[in-house]
Amino acid sequence: MTAVGIDAIELWTGKLRLDLPNTFAPVKGEDPGKYTKGIGIEYSSLPDVYEDIVTMGANAAKRLMDRRGLVPDDIGRIDVATESAFDNSKPVSTYVAGCLEQVYDGDFHHANKGERKFACLSGTQVIDDAYNWIRAGRNRGRAALVIATDTALYERGDPGEATQGAGAVAMLVDEEPDVVALSTEQGYGSADETDFLKPNQQFPSVDGKRSIQVYLARMREALEDYESVAGDTHPDDFVYFPFHTPYPGMVRKAALLGYRHITRDTEIEDALADDIGMQPREADFPEREDYEEAIRAYMDELKETRRYREWYERAIEPTIQISGQVGNWYTGSVHIARLSALRAAAEADVDLAGEKLLVGSYGSGAQAEIHAETVQNGWREGVEAVDVEARLDDRYDLSYEEYELVHDVHNHEKEVEVDEFTQPSGEFVFTGWGRMNERR
Ligand code: HMG
CA dist., res. 249 & res. 226, Å (int):
24
pLDDT above 80 for 416: no
Per-residue CA distances from 12 to 57, 189, 285, 292, 412 (Å) = 7, 30, 52, 44, 22
Whether the upstream peptide bond of residue 144 has omega within 30° of 0, thus cis, is: no
Q: Which atom of ligand 1 is nearest to the CA of 365?
A: 56
- Ligand 1 in contact with 34 (CB < 6 A)? yes
334 within ligand 1 shell (Cβ under 6 A): no
Read off the pLDDT of residues 142-192 as tens digits, 9 standing for 90 and up. Answer: 999 999 999 999 999 999 999 999 999 999 999 999 999 999 999 999 999
* DSSP string for residues in 22-44: IIIHHHHT--THIIIIII--SEE
pLDDT, position 349: 97
Q: What separation in angstroms does the CA of 81 have from each of 92, 114, 124, 250?
A: 9, 9, 8, 22
Confidence of residue 436 (pLDDT cuts 50, 70, 90): low
The per-residue pLDDT for range 333-349, each reduced to its tens digit, is: 999 999 999 999 999 99
Tell me the average pLDDT across 312-318.
98
Average pLDDT value over all residues in the chain: 95
- CA-to-CA separations, 164 to 46, 82, 211, 300, in angstroms, rounded: 8, 15, 15, 29
**Ligand 1 pocket member 256 (CB < 6 A):** no
Tell whether the model's pLDDT for residue 434 goes beyond 80: no
Q: What is the pLDDT of residue 417?
A: 77
Banded pLDDT at 439 (limits 50, 70, 90): confident
Q: 139 falls in which pLDDT band (50, 70, 90)?
A: very high
User: What is the distance in A from the centroid of ligand 1 to the CA of 254?
Assistant: 13
**Nearest CA owner, ligand 1 atom 46:** 212
Nearest atom in ligand 1 to 244's CA: 50
Give tens-digit pLDDT for 39-52.
999 999 999 999 99
Mutate to test the pocket of ligand 1, among 34, 118, 190, 207 (most ligand atoms within 8 A of CB): 34
pLDDT of residue 159: 97
Is residue 387 classed exposed, middle or buried when 0-12, 13-18 and 19+ CB atoms within 10 A define those classes? middle
Residue 295 has pLDDT above 90, yes or no: yes
Probe target for ligand 1 pocket from 211, 252, 333, with the most ligand atoms within 8 Å of CB: 211
* Average pLDDT for 14-33: 98
Q: What is the dihedral of CA 137, 142, 143, 146, to 10 degrees?
A: -90
Ligand 1 pocket mutation pick from 117, 194, 196 by most atoms within 8 angstroms of CB:
196
Distance 252 CA to ligand 1 centre (A): 11
Catalytic residue positions? 83, 120, 244
Q: Is the pLDDT of residue 435 over 80?
A: no
Mean pLDDT of 366-372: 98
Q: Is 322 in the pocket of ligand 1 (CB under 6 A)?
A: no
User: What domains sit in the chain, N to C, each tagged with a CATH number?
Assistant: 4-439 (3.40.47.10)
Give per-residue pLDDT as tens, 198-250: 999 989 999 999 999 999 999 999 999 999 999 999 999 999 999 999 999 99
Answer yes or no: is the C-beta of 118 below 6 A from any ligand 1 atom.
Answer: no
The verdict on the CB of residue 206 being under 6 Å from ligand 1 is yes
Residue 172: its H or E element: strand 165-175
Mean pLDDT for the stretch of residues 318-326 = 98
Atom of ligand 1 minimally distant from the CA of 362: 56
- Separation CA 413–CA 70 (nearest Å): 38
* Percentage of the chain modeled with pLDDT above 70: 98
Nearest to 376 by CA among 128, 69, 9, 64: 9
Answer yes or no: is the C-beta of 354 below 6 A from any ligand 1 atom: no
- For the cut 70, the answer to whether the pLDDT of residue 37 exceeds it is yes
Kind of pairing, strands 16-19 and 396-397?
Answer: parallel
Burial (CB count <10 Å: 0-12, 13-18, 19+), residue 415: exposed
**pLDDT at position 419:** 84
pLDDT of res. 401: 96
Listed in sequence order, the residues at least 6 apart from 13 whose beta carbon sits closer than 8 Å to its beta carbon are 45, 166, 167, 326, 391, 392, 395
Nearest one of 325, 308, 326, 306 to 316, comparing CA atoms: 308
Residue 278: pLDDT band with limits 50, 70, 90:
confident
User: Could you identify the atom of ligand 1 that is nearest to the CA of residue 252?
Assistant: 21
Task: Report pLDDT for 438.
Answer: 72
In sign, the C-alpha dihedral spanning 295, 296, 297, 299 is positive
pLDDT number for residue 433: 67
DSSP state of 436: P
Burial of 175 (0-12, 13-18, 19+ CB in 10 A): middle
- Indicate if ligand 1 lies below 6 Å from the C-beta of 44: no
